[in-house]
Amino acid sequence: MTVAPTEIAAPPRRKVNILFGLTLIGLLAFLWILLGFVTASFWTPLNISNLLRQGAMTAILALGQTFVIITAGIDLSVGAIVGFTSVILAWLLQAGVPVWASILITLMIGVAIGAFHGFGIVKMGLPPFIITLATLTSLRGIGLLITNGSTINIINEPFTNFARADFLGVPSLFWMVILVAVPSYVFLHLSRWGRYLFAVGSNREAARLSGVRVNGIIYLAYILSATFAAFVGVLLASRIAIGNATQADGWELQAIASSVIGGTSLFGAVGSVHGPLIGAFILATINNGANLLNVNSFWQRIITGLLIIVIVYFDQLRRRRNP
């Protein structure tokens, strides 16, 4: 007799605990205090606003990536989706399509890309690494074909002013993080669909035998990831006022790093909403501080890589202690 899908819950031992979340917040606070002492301009309103804007888009990407990683998958295409959708949005606006319609079409393209990834994994049997890597390279090429290797300027002041604006003294881009994070928290931690994500990542066959539509959950995870990336493409287009297929190069690695630093396990079934968001701002703080201290940008990549190695290593130790 199978268990009804609604009875499935994520194993408590595999959830990111509150202590780890508090540790991340403590690390972020420590970095902010340290940089406030060693630099003269870190705590200036302009720099804090820039920091929040820098981290906001990576945070949204990381959150979408987390849904996929929880299912023991990976999405390498999110950076390319950001660049490609910025081109699509700019092209639509240049063609005279209203802003609201352009944004809606752009987001629907993100849904279509995510569905394509799900199709490749579920129906074609391709590894997530391969199908998303293929999309990464293809979308870059398609975007360059559309723009002929150039950029598309966006001449729409209300749209381009949005990313530069503040609301209640907080950058609009940061409010977009909250806009995405709240329903994501409800979805992942308070709904049965979130429990299904954890179940699929923990043991796909057991989830299937328990009545979970595993293929549908995989589709859902990749659609969410690609749609979040398309949303970031809209925000990036607003911030830089152009559509450029080469933008957001390497952002997929930043998203994965933020998610992993935030406690998401690359082996699946472990993750949260708050972790990747804090992880993204930890990375943004490191990059911001390095720029203020005139540290070579190559060191930023080295630090990020070392953080990933350390966190994945301890995740492996935890899995060995709690098989």
Q: Give residue-wise pLDDT tens across range 129-182.
A: 999 999 999 999 999 999 998 999 999 999 999 998 999 889 999 999 999 999
Question: What share of the chain has pLDDT > 90, as a percent?
Answer: 73
Per-residue confidence at 7, pLDDT binned at 50, 70, 90? low
Q: Give residue-wise pLDDT tens across range 208-254.
A: 999 999 999 999 999 999 999 999 999 999 999 999 999 998 899 99
Look at residue 298 and tell me whether its pLDDT is greater than 90: no
- What pTM was computed for the model? 0.91
Structural domains in the chain, sorted by start: 45-321 (1.10.3470.10)
Take residue 42 and report the two structure tokens written for it. 């870190």
Look at residue 315 and tell me whether its pLDDT is greater than 80: no
* Chain-centre distance for alpha carbon 109: 17
Residue 28 has a pLDDT of 92
Q: Give residue-wise pLDDT tens across range 39-50.
A: 989 999 999 999
318 touches 63 (CB < 8 A) = no
DSSP string, 209-253: HTT--HHHHHHHHHHHHHHHHHHHHHHHHHHHSEE-TTTTTTHHH
